[in-house]
Chains A and B, each alone.
Chain A
């Protein structure tokens, strides 16, 4: 406290020097006046009185000086003075200052923007109070490390959970949402236990939370909606509570609206509707259907270890008590904040890459600045030498330089925050445009801290060069060498060449990384392996269980729907299937060939499975290579039939004819055997994140109908697919007004929007690469230009001795290109590392390509040549006489 007051007093003395001086003078004047007045009262004449007072007082200036010493902080005053000097220096050369601030701003800005995205996606804790106490509870099995839990297991856990805290469960169930007079809409839905929101400590902003009794089947016709749905669908009307809407055809009452902050896509994704769990008695006692996702809030006194031990023991008990359902499964907890979207899969690897690459841009910017600073310091070598000769210590020489870079770093940092903000807005806009769901990039203290830290580290790095120079300054040599003292010695030359090599190495990594990625994404987006997307329209439909209670009703609906769709003008064929060819198929089943000795249990080959209607293959453009497609013979009651892809045919049967062979499809305990009736070409999906399963198996949709399916409509060569969208929607509406169609769009649009993340990433990488390359080009240009200026004398001598202009230009170019080549060679190693990171993030992308690497090396050398050629041209214009005379 004492020390703080002391410091404040002294700080005042530093910053309010003028006021203090004025007050001190006035105080002493007052004192003198009073003493003089006293002398006058004693009878002295006024003049004499003043002199006597002055004599008695002593030297006013000496006293002032001694008084000043009382409130001085020497280092701070010194620092402020240095800042002032630095500021004046920077103002004096506005071109240099502007260049430096822009370079820094771009470098730090790119880096800070990447960090702000990383912060928003990965680091920021979820917006639930005390979110550190929240856990996800997973049931780990051989197939799934983040598996769900069956209802019966959950209810057991909830009964025993007082030693843990509170547990809640939810299940994802998309639902159709309709009201009279509105087209039906498919909504992202979740069914949750009544304590779900209270466990998260979230309260509805309007209305109420679920009540305990509403968990039971029959009482569950209430719904809590998200802020987003409230705004978008219901116009944010306050009288929304109590309104009845139809969900899956059943009337539900809206009882609550969640707050805006709950729209946290990183936890549950974008959910529109929350309904109570609503399990019937049969479901509640089910131990097999692992349909529930569990979250828990640890009670305050329960440590993380105790909690995870408790959960693990509970899992072990289940495995012992119910071996049929639970053998081989274990339970574990993971902090909820660690399970956010951005921390899953390849995302961390991609972020590591982005932060690293933007760091490279910053380093390139740094080395440009180091070069600029070094040049300026060298130009001022004589000034430094004179000051050193007059007794300035090295640290005194260095301090104004440090102050200068500090000011530049702060200005650059400020500019960088602006740039990062723009990039953040752009990123939000891009990310939201891709999905229609808002993704926000937050600017919080962490981001500002990052920008500041980056600015200071940068200042330190680009200060090293001039600092080393100033410290090694040889006063005698510099003063003796006269005007030529400003050329800089061999050591500096080497240092600058080192910087150029480094810049080109980093630029190479950036360029090659971006190029490899762009090529990978392009390939992915444009590969149409085994299917065609032109003249194709697709959409997702979900048949509500209230309207379509059994398989026969679903099949009837589908027959009617396809008839109507195919009757639309311009439509050549239509199909309904579990999956579309261009998106990942998620249903994997084990396969065995009938009549062969089956491989050991668990080692059977696996295939991804799709259920399709008869004209699916012609609709999506998958070629039938042998046998037949499905047709009207294949119904729910007819013998089971399969169609397999080429790779599967070759893998299972080699050169044998697969047609009429029999397969067994194994799904858990269910085994279905059927005959192979056809072979079709292989498919490759456009989504990069899953390693494709090579075996693809088709079965008639009627033989295993599902509620959640995709429609595909192929148009004739003369009909643009976008023109039939309205017709498709109307045809479906006519058939069932409660039936929503999600993402009804042309196949091309659907593919483009599914890979929007990759597109954003591609754009970010391209910008980073362009920025890095531009800065590196600027760097080499600056160096060569300076070298040219310094070597004018040497060139003049060479010219005078008969060297041709071409020789000299070539000499300069070779210097530059050599540096660029060495840099590019070093960068190739880094580029290899980047391609590994891309491969880790997106296994489906092929991120190595020799032509790309050769191409980028060529581009880099070309740019280096251009950057060198511009100043090198001037070599030919050296006026020999003038240059030699200047010597």
Chain B
């Protein structure tokens, strides 16, 4: 397996929200989607993912539901709540601001 980048601290929640904004997924699906979207550059550790999912659920950003998966197993699907959607917007915005600032600092014109 190729060496994968470590996640920047605090971005996991934003990424999960982003992934779920395109459709409901179970935990396994989230890791797959993240790897797929990052073209295999990102590898999410389960040890961080599940506590993060529960935390976000407790905060009301996500809600969960047991459903039958495409290959007929029971899986726990997470979906965004309205608060979660708002949170995603907020995080996206602050992320954009932050990267712009970092870019300014790193490559002053």
Interface of A toward B, CB cutoff 8 Å = 2, 5-6, 9-10, 23-24, 26-28, 30-31, 33-35, 56-59, 62-63, 66-67, 69-71
Is A6 a contact partner of B60 (Cβ separation < 8 A)? yes
Q: Are A35 and B59 in contact (CB under 8 A)?
A: no
Quick check: B51 and A70 within 8 Å, CB to CB? Answer: yes
CB distance from A51 to the nearest CB of B (A): 15
**Within the complex, what minimum Cβ distance (angstroms) separates A24 from chain B?**
8
**For the complex, is B97 an interface residue (Cβ under 8 Å from A)?**
no
Query: A9 to B76, Cβ gap below 8 A?
Result: no
CA–CA, A6 to B74, complex, Å? 26
- A57 touching B55, Cβ below 8 Å: no
> A71: which B residues are within 8 A, CB to CB?
54, 57-58
* Pair B58/A30 contact, Cβ less than 8 Å: no
A-B contact pairs, 5 of them (CB 8 A): A2-B59, A2-B60, A28-B46, A30-B74, A57-B47
Q: Shortest beta-carbon distance, A9 to chain B, in Å?
A: 5
Residues of A within 8 A of B73 (CB): 30, 33
Q: Are B83 and A35 in contact (CB under 8 A)?
A: no
User: Which residues in B have their C-beta under 8 angstroms from that of A35?
Assistant: 28
Does the CB pair A58–B46 fall under 8 Å? yes
Q: Which residue of A lies closest to B76 (CB)?
A: A27
How many whole Å from B44's CB to the nearest CB in chain A?
A: 11
Beyond A26-B74, A30-B73, whether A9 also contacts B50 by CB under 8 A is no
Q: What residues on A are CB-neighbors of B50 within 8 Å?
A: 24, 27-28, 63, 66-67
CA distance A28 to B31 in the complex (A): 13
**B56-98 interface (Cβ within 8 A of A):** 57-60, 66, 73-76, 83
Q: How distant is the Cα of A294 from the Cα of B82 in the complex, in angstroms?
A: 61
A67 and B46 contacting across the interface, CB-CB below 8 Å:
no
Name the contact of B51 in the complex, choosing from A9, A57, A63 (C-beta under 8 A).
A63
Of B27, B58, B75, most A-chain CB atoms within 10 Å:
B58
Residue among A6, A31, A66, A67 facing the most chain B CB atoms (10 A cut-off): A31
Interface contact A70-B55, CB-CB below 8 Å = yes
- Set A2, A27, A70: member contacting B27, Cβ < 8 A: A27
Instruction: Quote the shortest CB–CB distance from B37 to chain A (angstroms).
Output: 17
Main secondary structure of the interface of B (DSSP, over half): helix
A6–B58 Cα distance when bound, in Å, is 6
Does B45 interact with chain A (Cβ within 8 Å)? yes
Distance (whole angstroms) from the CB of A829 to the closest CB of chain B? 60
User: Which residues of chain B are within 8 angstroms of A24 by Cβ–Cβ distance?
Assistant: 50
User: Across the interface, which residues of B come within 8 angstroms of A56, CB to CB?
Assistant: 46
Closest 8 CB pairs of A and B: A70-B54, A66-B51, A70-B55, A34-B28, A58-B47, A5-B60, A31-B28, A27-B76
Contacts of B46 in A (CB 8 A): 28, 31, 56-58, 63
List B residues at the A interface (Cβ < 8 Å): 26-28, 31, 45-47, 50-51, 53-55, 57-60, 66, 73-76, 83
> Bound state CA distance, A23 and B66, in angstroms?
9
Residue ID in chain A nearest B66 by CB atoms: A23
Interface class of chain A by DSSP: helix
- Which B residue's beta carbon lies closest to that of A62? B47
User: Do A9 and B47 contact each other (CB < 8 Å), given the known contacts A30-B74, A70-B54, A71-B54?
Assistant: no
Which of these, B26, B27, B45, B57, contacts A9 with CB under 8 Å? B57
Given the complex of chains A and B, what is the CA–CA distance between A6 and B66 in angstroms? 21
Q: How far is the CA of A28 from the CA of B26 in the complex (A)?
A: 11
CA distance A168 to B50 in the complex (A): 74
CA gap between A800 and B20 in the complex, in Å = 87
Q: How far is the CA of A70 from the CA of B49 in the complex (A)?
A: 12
CB neighbours (8 Å) of A31 from chain B are 27-28, 31, 46
Q: Which residues of A contact B53 (CB under 8 A)?
A: 67
Assess the B47–A63 pair: CB atoms within 8 A: yes
Q: A2-B60, A6-B59, A9-B60 are in contact. Are A30 and B51 (CB under 8 A)?
A: no
Of B26, B27, B50, B59, most buried by chain A (CB within 10 Å of CB) is B50
> Complex Cα distance A5/B74, Å?
26
A9 to B83 alpha-carbon distance, docked (Å) = 15
Residues on the B chain within 8 Å of A67, using CB: 50-51, 53-54
B58's contact among A9, A26, A63, A66, by CB below 8 Å, is which? Answer: A9
Contacts of B66 on A, CB cut-off 8 Å?
A: 23
Interchain CA distance A67-B75 in the complex, whole Å: 18
Q: Which residue of B lies closest to A27 (CB)?
A: B76
Known A-B contacts A6-B59, A9-B57; the reply to A66 vs B47 at CB < 8 A is yes
User: Roughly how many angstroms separate A62 CA and B51 CA in the complex, as a whole number?
Assistant: 10
B57 contacts which chain A residues (CB < 8 A)? 9, 70-71
Q: Tell me which of A6, A28, A35, A70 has the highest count of chain B C-beta atoms within 10 A of its own C-beta.
A: A70
**A240 to chain B: closest CB distance in Å?**
61
State whether A30 touches B47 (Cβ < 8 A). no
| CB contact under 8 A between A10 and B58, given known A30-B28, A31-B28 | yes
A2's nearest neighbour on chain B, judged by CB, is B60
User: How many angstroms between the C-alpha atoms of A512 and B60 in the bound complex?
Assistant: 64
Cα separation A350 to B59 with both chains bound (whole Å): 56
- Give the chain A neighbours of B31 by CB distance below 8 A: 31
Question: B54 to chain A: which residues have CB within 8 Å?
Answer: 67, 70-71
CB-defined contacts of B47 to chain A, threshold 8 Å: 57-59, 62-63, 66
CB distance from A493 to the nearest CB of B (A): 52
A28 to B46: give the CA distance in the assembly, Å. Answer: 9
Instruction: Check A69–B51 contact: CB distance below 8 A.
Output: yes
B60/A30 in contact, CB under 8 A: no
A159-B45 Cα distance, complex, nearest whole Å:
87
Whole-angstrom CA separation of A3 from B97 in the bound complex? 28
Shortest beta-carbon distance from B2 to chain A in Å: 15
Give the distance to chain A from B48, nearest Cβ to Cβ, in Å.
Answer: 9
CA distance A66 to B45 in the complex (A): 13
Report B-chain residues with C-beta under 8 Å of the C-beta of A5.
60
Residues of B with C-beta under 8 A to A34: 28
Nearest B residue to A3 via CB reads: B60
Give min CB distance, A20 to chain B, whole Å. Answer: 9
Which residue on A lies nearest to B47, using beta carbons? A58
Asked if A70 meets B58 with Cβ closer than 8 Å, knowing A2-B83, A58-B45, the reply is yes
17 extra interchain contacts, Cβ-Cβ under 8 A, other than A10-B58, A67-B53? A2-B59, A6-B58, A6-B59, A6-B60, A23-B66, A23-B76, A26-B76, A27-B27, A30-B26, A30-B27, A30-B28, A31-B27, A58-B45, A58-B46, A67-B51, A70-B58, A71-B58
B75 engages A30 (CB within 8 Å): yes
Contacts of A28 in B (CB 8 A): 46, 50
Whole-angstrom distance between the alpha carbons of A11 and B8 in the complex?
A: 33
Query: How many Å lie between the Cα of A69 and that of B54 in the bound state?
Result: 9
Expressed in whole angstroms, the minimum distance between the Cβ of A38 and any Cβ of chain B is: 9
Residues of B within 8 A of A62 (CB): 47
Q: Which residues of B contact A59 (CB under 8 A)?
A: 47
Q: Which residues of A contact B55 (CB under 8 A)?
A: 70
CB A479 to nearest CB in B, in angstroms, measures 43
Cα of A23 to Cα of B45 in the assembled complex, Å: 20
